[in-house]
A and B are shown apart, each in its own frame.
Chain A
Amino acid sequence: MTAPTPTGAPTERWASTSCSTGVDDEDQHIDAWRRIFDRHARSAALTGDLSNVWISSYTGEPIPAAEMDEWLDATSDLILRCRPRRVLDIGCGTGLVMSRVAPASERYVGVDVSPQTVDILRRRIADEGIPAEVHLARADDLSVLAGQGFDTIVLNSVVQYFPSTAHLVSVLREVSGLAEQAATIIIGDVRNSALMEAFHLDVALARSSPDDRMRGVLDRAARARRTDPELVLHPREIVEAVALVAPQATVHIALKRGRYENELSRFRYDAVVTLDSAEELGAMRIDLTLDWGRDVHSIADAVAAFDGLRGGIVRGVPNRRTGWTAFADVPLEPTTREFMELQEQRAAAAVDPEVLCRAFEHSGFEARPSWHPGAPCEVFDVIVQHGEEQRSP
């Protein structure tokens, strides 16, 4: 699922060439998506009021408005926490993030690859008085903004339409030319390649009958995985791409905040790139590092262990959201009903990242649920720092 909700490889005409990685093919890939987004923007009869609604891959129904709001709030919060002043929003689409963040920043510039989408957003900016401007540009050619500087650069729900990881590197190179020294780059809503088997299994399960055998469900999931047209990225690939362009930067792979559990919170992440890592690391206080299952076994114990401390990390917490992450693990013979019972048993022993974070926040800490790029994604870490308001009355 995706924003104004995509799941799509461009059209047949170039689908056969999409595996090669030449520059021409990359251009074709981007042009194909541009054509799709253009037509999507023009097809008001099709999209209508639904243009900001995402459709659940599980049910085909719109994702409930409350969950979409929470998703958008979490994304906005992530950006606003950077205290943005000059924001560049690459792939701004119809302005979902812009309408929330622009009023809180000094300057907000959006760019998008689709001329029709840019037209629609320009009208929206004028109609609603959003303090922002928008330009037509490809993410890897931002010459229209030459000479300008930004402290916060956002690519939200965009990289899945990139043709390759190499293209992400080109875009990061282009972006770094506009980034101020201490800028933050937020690569948001990235589909985690380590969890794509789990995602497609989950969807196939939701669409199966209780008496279907898991063998068939897995076949359908594997087929869907093979035909999934969007770019998916392992957290490690983001870290490596950033390191090629900005070796001094730190990358934080953030799990989605939010109480809702859907495909957005389970299988996607936000990469927060801090260009001036010295400042980021210098401000961090690590008084304690705990391993879940060895040092602590419950949320209450974990929070209690940090009493009086400035901050630290809880590592290796089993992630309730991700469930079965690899096909190799899944038993073939049970029915889906039996399998889902097994799944619930597993989930019962795991931790909801949001619940853990809120427990820390209740005790005055800031909490960031994270995927360590070198660790398996069925576990997560939480980085906690005592809130500034507690330190300075």
Chain B
Amino acid sequence: MDDVSEAGRASPSTGPPELVAEVRAILARNAFVEDVDRLADEANLFDAGMNSLTAVRMALTIEDHFDVLFADDALTRESLGSITALARLLEATLTGDVGPG
């Protein structure tokens, strides 16, 4: 029982695994940061060399890929700061928790 519910639930702390994987693939494909393969899901992307303009470029690419629109004020150094955080932002936007501003 416990195992099933654990696996079936998208944990708010880690982000849903399938979105994490897709975000990771987009980052790798576009090389928004170097050596994505060596980065943990929680690793800080700004520490890995990303700057704010690249962060915006990355957000736009994710928007295009999933056909969503992030609210301007939802783009922060936290929400774009790791693969996990991006997956959480994406999930919240897809499920309407954070609508386009």
Contacts and interface: CB of A to CB of B under 8 A. Distances in A.
Contacts of B64: 11-13
A374 interface: no
Interface string B61-101: 10011000000111111001000000000000000000000
Given A46-B80, A227-B31, A7 B52 contact: no
A54 interface: yes
Given A9-B57, A12-B29, A35-B60, A47 B49 contact: no
B56 interface: yes
Contacts of A55: 46, 49-52
B60 A36 contact: yes
A7 B53 contact: yes
B57 to A, nearest CB: 4
B48 interface: yes
Contacts, number: 99
A161 to B, nearest CB: 10
A21 B61 CA distance: 22
B53 A11 contact: no
A9 B30 contact: yes
A60 interface: yes
Nearest to A226: B31
B30 A39 contact: no
Interface residues of B, number: 32
B54 interface: yes
B19 interface: no
A214 to B, nearest CB: 16
A15 B30 CA distance: 9
B61 A39 contact: no
Contacts of B46: 55, 60
A4 interface: yes
B23 interface: no
A93 B44 CA distance: 28
Contacts of B76: 45-46
Given A8-B57, A10-B57, A220-B34, A43 B72 contact: yes
B85 to A, nearest CB: 12
B2 interface: no
B88 to A, nearest CB: 16
A39 B73 CA distance: 11
Nearest to A200: B34
A8 to B, nearest CB: 4
Contacts of B48: 60
Contacts of B20: none
Nearest to B58: A8
Interface in A5-49: 5-13, 15, 35-37, 39-40, 42-47
A1 interface: yes
B82 to A, nearest CB: 13
A40 B59 CA distance: 10
Interface in A40-76: 40, 42-47, 50-51, 54-55, 57, 60
A97 interface: no
B30 A36 contact: no
Given A55-B49, A60-B48, A207-B49, A7 B54 contact: yes
A223 interface: yes
A8 B46 CA distance: 14
B35 interface: yes
Contact of A6 (B49, B54, B59, B60): B54
B3 interface: no
Contact of A36 (B49, B56, B74, B75): B56
A257 B51 CA distance: 25
Given A12-B29, A60-B47, A227-B31, 18 more contacts: A1-B51, A2-B51, A5-B54, A6-B51, A11-B64, A36-B53, A36-B60, A37-B53, A39-B56, A43-B73, A43-B75, A44-B73, A45-B73, A46-B75, A46-B76, A46-B80, A51-B52, A203-B49
22 contacts: A7-B51, A7-B54, A8-B54, A10-B57, A12-B26, A35-B60, A36-B53, A39-B72, A45-B72, A45-B73, A46-B52, A46-B56, A46-B75, A46-B77, A54-B51, A55-B52, A60-B44, A60-B47, A60-B49, A204-B34, A207-B34, A224-B31
